[in-house]
């Protein structure tokens, strides 16, 4: 049966960056994919003012979702790099509402238990998502939502992504969907330019000759992004003997239930 998949993403590009190949496979299988983008992405640029950048990134996210085959994104509109300054519980309530509204079979979100995450938005989303996924089943949590007609809900499958490979117990083979993942990710042009420029600036500061090391692609930011993402996917795939992969901490039922199913 087709599933409903909800992604709780901090920024406009995160769904494609961490799970684009997996989402492409889910969509090909007939699943409905909804991407909830938490922030406006307005801080990540060296060239665009915040208000202009927010509009650009929203348009880019819409284009990326079309390329991926997902439904139009859900924009929550919080300010980039300010999620940790929200009143406690704000995001948890918002995510519980989304889970109760869309009743997803699968939720994909940042892993709150991963080590090495240096972005405050990612850390904030990770914990809020974890709480919402776990407790959206409780009728006494946000009972005003139930009075509005929403119902409690239990999420069956959880895919938690991160850059901490020690957390992964599932690696999805994206060898055949990597190109579509990248086609969608490259729609986030302002973010790609920002990410690659930051790395190039660091390389220059370190005294590295990028042109000598990489040749003609040194000036092509999209090509550099493709190279970096392929290297990351290859490293992940190598842990399971596949060409290209995306890694997750995957959870389904309570361990006791899983013990009877295995």
What pLDDT, on a 0 to 100 scale, did the predictor assign at position 96? 99
DSSP-assigned letters across all residues of 89-116: THHHHHHHHHHHHH--SEEEEE-TT-S-
Query: What is the CA 221 to chain-centroid distance, rounded?
Result: 21
pLDDT at 77 over 90: yes
Residue with tokens 């993403």: 9
**Span 212-241, average pLDDT:** 93
pLDDT in tens, 114-156: 999 999 999 999 999 999 999 999 999 999 999 999 999 999 9
pLDDT at 113 over 80: yes
Structural domain total, the chain: 1
How many Å apart are CA 167 and CA 97, to the nearest integer?
28
**Going by DSSP bridges, is the β-strand pair 245-251/157-161 parallel, antiparallel, or unpaired?**
antiparallel
Angle, CA 83 vertex, CA 140 and CA 148 arms, to 5° = 30
Q: Does the residue 38 lie in any domain?
A: yes
What pLDDT, on a 0 to 100 scale, did the predictor assign at position 146? 98
Q: Does the residue 260 lie in any domain?
A: no
How many Å apart are CA 49 and CA 47, to the nearest integer?
7
Q: Does the residue 261 lie in any domain?
A: no
Q: Does the residue 153 lie in any domain?
A: yes
What pLDDT, on a 0 to 100 scale, did the predictor assign at position 249? 98
pLDDT at 259 over 80: yes
pLDDT at 6 over 90: yes
- Range of 184's domain? 4-255
What pLDDT, on a 0 to 100 scale, did the predictor assign at position 218? 84
Q: Does the residue 231 lie in any domain?
A: yes
pLDDT in tens, 87-108: 999 999 999 999 999 999 999 9
What pLDDT, on a 0 to 100 scale, did the predictor assign at position 217? 86
If 0-12 CB within 10 Å is exposed, 13-18 middle and 19+ buried, where does residue 256 land?
Answer: exposed
pLDDT at 262 over 80: no
pLDDT at 238 over 90: yes
Percent of the chain scored above 70 by pLDDT? 100
pLDDT in tens, 150-202: 999 999 999 999 999 999 999 999 999 999 999 999 999 999 999 999 999 99
Q: What is the CATH number of the domain that holds 150?
A: 3.40.50.10320
pLDDT in tens, 16-27: 999 999 999 999
What pLDDT, on a 0 to 100 scale, did the predictor assign at position 99? 99
What pLDDT, on a 0 to 100 scale, did the predictor assign at position 215? 85
The per-residue pLDDT of the chain, averaged, comes to: 96
What pLDDT, on a 0 to 100 scale, did the predictor assign at position 24? 98
């Amino acid at each position: 049966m087709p599933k409903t998949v909800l992604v709780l993403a901090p920024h406009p590009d995160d769904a494609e960056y961490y799970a684009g190949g997996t989402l492409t496979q889910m969509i090909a299988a007939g699943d409905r994919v909804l991407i909830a983008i938490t922030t406006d992405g307005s801080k990540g640029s060296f060239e665009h003012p915040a208000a202009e950048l927010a509009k650009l990134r929203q348009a880019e996210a819409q284009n990326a979702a079309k390329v991926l085959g997902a439904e139009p994104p859900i924009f929550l509109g919080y300010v980039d790099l300010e999620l940790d300054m929200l009143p406690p519980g704000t995001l948890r309530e918002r995510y519980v509402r989304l889970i109760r509204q869309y009743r997803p079979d699968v939720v994909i979100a940042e892993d709150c238990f991963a080590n090495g995450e240096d972005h405050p938005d990612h850390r904030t989303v990770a914990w809020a998502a974890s709480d919402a996924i776990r407790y959206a089943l409780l009728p006494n949590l946000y009972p005003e939502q139930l009075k509005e007609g929403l119902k409690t809900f239990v999420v069956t499958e959880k895919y938690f992504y991160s850059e901490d490979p020690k957390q992964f117990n599932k690696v999805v083979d994206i060898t055949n969907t990597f190109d579509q993942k990248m086609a969608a990710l490259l729609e986030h042009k302002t973010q790609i330019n920002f990410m690659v420029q930051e790395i190039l600036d660091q390389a220059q500061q370190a005294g590295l000759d990028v042109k000598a090391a990489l040749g003609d692609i040194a000036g092509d930011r999209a090509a550099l992004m493709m190279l970096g993402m392929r290297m990351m996917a290859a490293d992940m795939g190598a842990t399971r003997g596949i060409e290209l992969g995306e890694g997750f901490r995957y959870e389904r039922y309570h361990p006791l239930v899983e013990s009877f199913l295995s």
